[in-house]
């Protein structure tokens, strides 16, 4: 890998390079398709930057992530259950207002997955229009927009460790929360390993490389083998810090004043839902 | 196969979530019992690995790419479907929470398909075959068949979850509230791309990565294999008959399921991928003018005539023949490899 080998020394009074070595050759590498390599590299980098961007970010509004997550779950349940499209439109409008309050960069990063999901669902629902169920296209696409946007806004405005911590508030088994916590960290570490191997393949693939496709299984193979060692090291590190087989969380105060104020949102959502569905 | 929210009714989501609770509880119990404590971080690492696997594009013939789920692979490499169940569930939750991939209400359903059915069926079939062939736990046929069948059974489950929606949940006007496609559409729409494309990717990725790890870090695979064979099998090759019966039953069931659901393979064949269904789907309904009859569960075959029935019997035959050809080729390559004493990766991959 290293270019600077300690054995290569350049003598001061060396012979000049022979002419044939200086002449420019007519080498043009054969064209090769490496779409999937580039796709993987870009995809991987986008995901990594996405995770790294949220580091050190403070939670918006100062509301505990568990309250926000519970509100989102409630809203999604209400949207999915509603038989009247009015409720979905109201929530959609409120969400657009929330989006409008965010900085432009954040709006873009929210809209990327949202538009992908909405477009996909519109395509999947297109045949339904010709089956005599044209409303499915609008209904499901609108509702998909709402659910994906709700979660995307949360993931862009809250620190992910706090969202994982919220899962603990919901009494998920500690082993599962530990798994998610570890996974989030290792996605970055292993993603970087995979990226390095991909880079190495790209560097070695000047021109036509027929072995490129078979090298791809190696990317994940190497990543897996590295992961083995890393998990061993992580266990030693945990043991050094007194890990006894139980994963404990520091409990935080959830119900701050802001948290209580935030409760107005789910209450309002329920009231609007009941009103629009004709229950009250 | 990541089901977004709003495709399934909240009732379905709740049922799938409730079904998953004992599965998760069993997996966690089994992990706590069997997995040594120093392996605990490994589950998180496995979750990260399966997340990366799902976003990793595998090159396909013709310049296109696709990605694997890798449930069987994680089960194979980490010694059991229980670990895979928790790892894939964690990966799915991360995708749903942070990446907008798969619904949060549909999380239970997604876990049922990809974290429960896929690794348990895939690994179960692998064990079933591996216990009965000479090459034992390293059998390529067992790995390929296990991962291929695993993802297809998972896709079938997803298709059934979609397909029951218009049966169970409609409004006063008879219009579907959630996924509008009945079983007759959802099953071929999910299964055909999975049988033809996604299943092949899953099998290729599983065998290729497994073989790579086996080649580069053989001690790791050996330790796992010896631990696995201590469990149930005595390491002796058993009679192959049950495996053949299973394969025949699976081959027979695949077209049977399609015929029972009342669809023709041919119509969906050209689609390849569900996301493309929209574009090429339209002309069929417009030409035939029978779009409305599709909303019924069982289209009336006596009216629609012979050609359609003949069409899908023919496609069923082609499908079965293709499967048999794949089995034969993989089998022949496996014999050739074991005869040569080497372990060629590309052989099984090409199949």
Coil, helix or strand at residue A170: coil
pLDDT winner (highest mean) among A53-57, A71-75, A85-89, B176-180: A71-75
Q: What is the pLDDT of residue B337?
A: 65
* Chain B residues closer than 8 Å to A223 by CB: 49, 52
Lowest mean pLDDT among A157-171, A257-271, B171-185, B214-228: B214-228
All residues at 6 or more sequence positions from B128 whose CB lies less than 8 Å from its CB, including other chains: B142, B242, B243, B246
Residue B193 has pLDDT above 50, yes or no: yes
Residue B142 token pair: 């067992």
Two structure tokens written together for B197? 């494309």
- What pLDDT is stored for residue A269 in this prediction? 93
- At residue B330, the pLDDT reads 63
Query: How would residue B339 be classed by pLDDT, with cut points 50, 70 and 90?
Result: low
Give B284 to chain A, closest Cα distance, Å: 10
CB atoms within 10 A of CB A148: 29
A54 by DSSP, 3-state: which? Answer: coil
Gyration radius (Cα) of chain A, Å: 27
Residues B191/B197/B202/B203 CA torsion (nearest 10 deg)? 100
pLDDT average, residue stretch A106-125: 86
Test B63 with A33 for CB contact under 8 angstroms: yes
B52 touching A (Cβ < 8 Å): yes
- Residue B58 DSSP one-character state: E
Of B188, B184, B191, which is closest to residue B163 (Cα–Cα)?
B184
How far from chain centre, in Å, is Cα B230?
28
3-state secondary structure B222-250: HHHHHHHHHHCCCCCCCCCHHHHHHHHHH
The answer to whether the CB of B253 falls within 8 A of the CB of B149 is no
Query: At a CB cut-off of 8 Å and minimum separation 6, what does B91 contact?
Result: A183, B47, B48, B50, B51, B54
Chain B contact set for A50 (CB, 8 A):
99
B349 in Cβ contact with A213 (< 8 Å) = no
Q: In this predicted model, what pLDDT tens digit does every residue of A171-196 receive, in sequence order?
A: 888 888 888 888 888 888 888 888 88
Instruction: Say if CB B291 and CB A131 are below 8 A apart.
Output: yes
Distance from CA of A247 to the nearest CA of B (A): 11
Residues of B in contact with A222 (CB under 8 A): 216
CB B336 within 8 A of CB B208: no
What is residue A260's three-state secondary structure?
A: helix
Distance from CA of A85 to the nearest CA of B (A): 11
- What DSSP element (H or E) covers B59? strand B57-59
Please say whether the beta carbons of B282 and A130 come within 8 A. yes
Q: What is d(CA A219, CA A205) in angstroms, rounded to the nearest whole number?
A: 14
Phi, psi of B170 (to 5 degrees): -130, 160
Report chain A's mean pLDDT, rounded to a whole number: 82
- Cβ of A132 and B292 within 8 Å? yes
Average pLDDT, chain B: 71
CA distances in angstroms from B348 to A145, A216, A269, B2, B342, listed in the order given: 42, 15, 55, 28, 13
pLDDT cut 70: percent of chain A above it: 86
Average pLDDT over residues B4-10: 88
pLDDT computed for residue B38 by the predictor = 74
DSSP B66-90: EE---HHHHHHHTTSHHHHHHHHHH
Give the C-alpha separation, A269 to B11, whole Å: 20
What pLDDT does residue A174 have? 80
Average pLDDT over residues B224-236: 49
State both tokens at B288. 């035939």
Does the pLDDT at position A14 exceed 90?
Answer: no
A209-250: pLDDT as tens digits? 667 667 777 888 888 888 888 888 888 888 898 877 677 766
Whether the predicted pLDDT of B1 surpasses 60: yes
Question: Which position has the higher pLDDT, B168 or B347?
Answer: B168
pLDDT for position B65: 59
Q: How confident is the model at residue B335 (pLDDT cuts 50, 70, 90)?
A: low
- Residues B249-296: tens digit of each pLDDT: 554 444 444 444 433 333 333 333 343 344 333 333 333 333 333 333
The upper half-sphere exposure of residue A35, i.e. CA atoms within 13 Å in the direction of its Cβ, equals 10
> Is A245 in Cβ contact with B175 (below 8 Å)?
no
Residues in chain B within 8 Å Cβ distance of A124: 274-275, 277-278
pLDDT at position B320 is 55
Q: Give the lowest-confidence range in A3-12, B23-32, B106-115, B153-162.
A: A3-12
User: What is the CB neighbour count within 10 angstroms for residue B64?
Assistant: 14
What distance in Å separates the CA atoms of residue A199 and residue A179, rounded to the nearest whole number?
Answer: 29
Question: Which residues 162-221 of B have a C-beta within 8 angstroms of A?
Answer: 171, 175-181, 185, 205, 208-209, 211-213, 216-217, 220
How many other β-carbons are positioned within 10 Å of the β-carbon of residue B307? 8
pLDDT-derived band at B149, boundaries 50, 70, 90: very high
Chains A, B: CB contacts under 8 A, how many?
A: 257
CB nearest to B48's CB, from A39, A147, A186: A186
Residue A279 has what pLDDT? Answer: 81
Chain A contact probe: residue of B23, B36, B59, B267 with most A CBs at under 10 A: B59
CA atoms within 13 A on the CB side of B122: 36
Question: Which domains, and CATH codes, for chain B?
Answer: 10-350 (1.10.1760.20)
Q: What is the C-alpha separation between B336 and B349, in angstroms, rounded?
A: 14
Tell me, what's the pLDDT at A270?
A: 93
Whole-angstrom distance, CA of residue A64 vs CA of residue A158: 9
Contact check, Cβ <8 Å, A147/B103 = yes
Among B5, B45, B291, beta carbon nearest to A147: B5
Of B206, B14, B336, B171, the closest CA to residue A135 belongs to B171
| Residue B121 pLDDT | 94
Give A216's contacts in chain B (Cβ within 8 Å): 58-59, 208
B interface test, pick of A179, A244, A246 with most B CB neighbours within 10 Å: A179
Judge: A176–B98 Cβ closer than 8 Å, yes or no: no
Label residue B89 by pLDDT band (50, 70, 90).
very high
Annotated domain spans of chain A: 60-171+254-280, 173-249
Whole-number Cα distances in Å, A243 to A178, A234, A252, B174, B307: 12, 11, 21, 58, 68
Strands, E assignment, B231-342: none
Between CA B255 and CA B329 the distance in angstroms is 22
Q: In angstroms, rounded to a whole number, what is the distance separating the alpha carbons of residues A162 and A263? A: 19
CB contact under 8 A, A183 and B94: yes
Residues of A whose CB is below 8 A from B295: 131-133
Asked whether residue B69 carries a pLDDT value surpassing 70, the answer given is yes
Which pLDDT belongs to residue A267? Answer: 94
Per-residue pLDDT reduced to its tens digit, A50-77: 777 776 666 667 788 889 999 999 999 9
pLDDT of the residue at B328 = 60
Q: How far is B171 from chain A (nearest CA, A)?
A: 8
The pLDDT of residue B67 is 75
Helices (H) and strands (E) in chain B, counts: 17, 2
How close does chain B come to A217, measured CA to CA in Å? 5
Query: What local confidence, expressed as pLDDT, does residue B205 receive?
Result: 85
pLDDT class of B23 with cuts at 50, 70, 90? very high
pLDDT given at position B279: 38
Cα distance between residue B39 and residue A231, in whole Å = 8
Answer whether B292 sits within 8 Å of A219, measured CB to CB: no
> Mean pLDDT over residues B338-346, rounded?
44
Q: Which of B119, B48, B127 is nearest to B82 (CA)?
A: B119
Residues 6+ apart with CB under 8 A from A197: A218, A219, A222, A223
Give, as one character, the DSSP assignment of residue A27.
Answer: -
Backbone angles phi, psi at B67, to 5 degrees: -125, 155
User: Residue A153: phi, psi to the nearest 5?
Assistant: -65, -45
Say what the pLDDT of residue A32 is: 66
From residue A19, alpha-carbon distances to A15, A28, B294 in Å are 12, 20, 76
Q: Rounded distance, CA B25 to CA A176, Å? A: 10
What was the pLDDT predicted at B256? 44
Distance CA B295, CA B163 (A): 11
Which is more confident, B313 or A28? A28
Residues B157-173 have pLDDT tens digits of: 999 998 888 888 877 77
- The secondary structure of residue B300, as a DSSP letter, is -
């Amino acid at each position: 890998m290293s270019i600077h080998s300690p054995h290569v020394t350049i003598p001061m009074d060396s012979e000049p390079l022979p002419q044939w070595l200086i002449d420019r050759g007519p080498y043009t590498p054969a064209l090769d398709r490496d779409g999937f390599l580039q796709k993987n590299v870009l995809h991987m980098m986008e995901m990594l930057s996405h995770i790294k961007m949220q580091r050190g970010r403070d939670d918006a509004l100062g509301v505990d992530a568990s309250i926000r997550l519970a509100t989102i779950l409630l809203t999604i349940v209400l949207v999915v259950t509603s038989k009247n499209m009015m409720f979905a439109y109201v929530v959609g409008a409120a969400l657009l207002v929330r989006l409008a309050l965010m900085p432009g960069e954040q709006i873009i990063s929210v809209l990327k997955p949202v538009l992908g999901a909405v477009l996909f669902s519109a395509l999947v629902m297109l045949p339904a229009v010709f089956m005599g169920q044209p409303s499915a296209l609008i209904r499901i696409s609108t509702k998909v927009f709402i659910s994906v946007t709700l979660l995307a806004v949360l993931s862009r405005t809250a620190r992910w460790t706090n969202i994982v911590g919220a899962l603990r508030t919901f009494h998920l088994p500690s082993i599962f929360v530990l798994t998610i916590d570890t996974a989030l960290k290792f996605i970055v570490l292993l993603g970087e390993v995979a990226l390095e191997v991909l880079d190495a393949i790209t560097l070695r693939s000047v021109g036509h490389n027929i072995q490129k496709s078979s090298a791809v299984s190696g990317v994940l193979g190497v990543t897996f083998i590295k992961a083995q060692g890393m998990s061993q090291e992580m266990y030693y590190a945990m043991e050094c810090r007194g890990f006894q087989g139980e994963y404990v969380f520091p409990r935080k105060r959830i119900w701050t004043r802001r948290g209580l104020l935030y409760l107005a949102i789910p209450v309002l959502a329920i009231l609007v839902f009941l009103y629009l569905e004709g229950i009250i | 196969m990541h089901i977004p929210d709003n495709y399934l009714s909240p009732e379905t989501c709740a049922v799938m979530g409730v079904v998953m609770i004992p599965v998760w509880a069993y997996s966690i119990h089994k992990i706590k019992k069997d997995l040594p404590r120093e392996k605990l971080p490994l589950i998180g690492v496995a979750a990260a690995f399966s997340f990366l696997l799902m976003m990793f594009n595998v090159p396909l013939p013709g310049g296109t790419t696709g990605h694997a789920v890798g449930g069987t692979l994680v089960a194979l490499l980490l010694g059991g479907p229980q670990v895979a169940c928790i790892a894939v569930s964690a990966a799915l939750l991360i995708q749903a929470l942070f990446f907008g991939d798969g619904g949060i209400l549909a999380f239970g359903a997604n876990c049922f398909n990809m974290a429960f059915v896929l690794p348990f069926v895939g690994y179960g079939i692998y064990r079933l075959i591996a216990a009965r062939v000479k090459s034992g736990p390293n059998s390529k046929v067992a790995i390929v068949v296990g991962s291929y069948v695993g993802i297809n059974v998972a896709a079938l489950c997803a298709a059934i979850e979609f397909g029951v929606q218009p049966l169970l949940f409609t409004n006063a006007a008879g219009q579907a509230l959630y996924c509008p496609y009945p079983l007759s559409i959802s099953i071929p729409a999910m299964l055909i791309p999975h049988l033809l494309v996604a299943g092949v990717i899953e099998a290729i990725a599983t065998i290729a990565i497994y073989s790579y790890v086996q080649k580069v870090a053989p001690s790791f695979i050996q330790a796992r294999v010896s631990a696995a064979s201590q469990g149930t099998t005595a390491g002796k090759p058993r009679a192959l008959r049950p495996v053949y019966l299973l394969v025949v039953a699976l081959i027979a069931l695949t077209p049977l399921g399609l015929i029972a659901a009342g669809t023709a393979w041919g119509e969906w064949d050209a689609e390849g991928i569900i996301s493309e269904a929209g574009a090429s789907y339209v002309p069929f309904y417009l030409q035939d003018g029978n779009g409305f009859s599709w909303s019924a569960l069982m289209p009336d075959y006596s009216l629609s005539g012979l050609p359609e029935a003949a069409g899908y019997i023919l496609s069923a035959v082609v499908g079965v023949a293709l499967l048999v050809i794949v089995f034969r080729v993989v089998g022949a390559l496996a014999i050739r490899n074991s005869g040569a004493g080497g372990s060629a990766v590309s052989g099984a991959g090409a199949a």
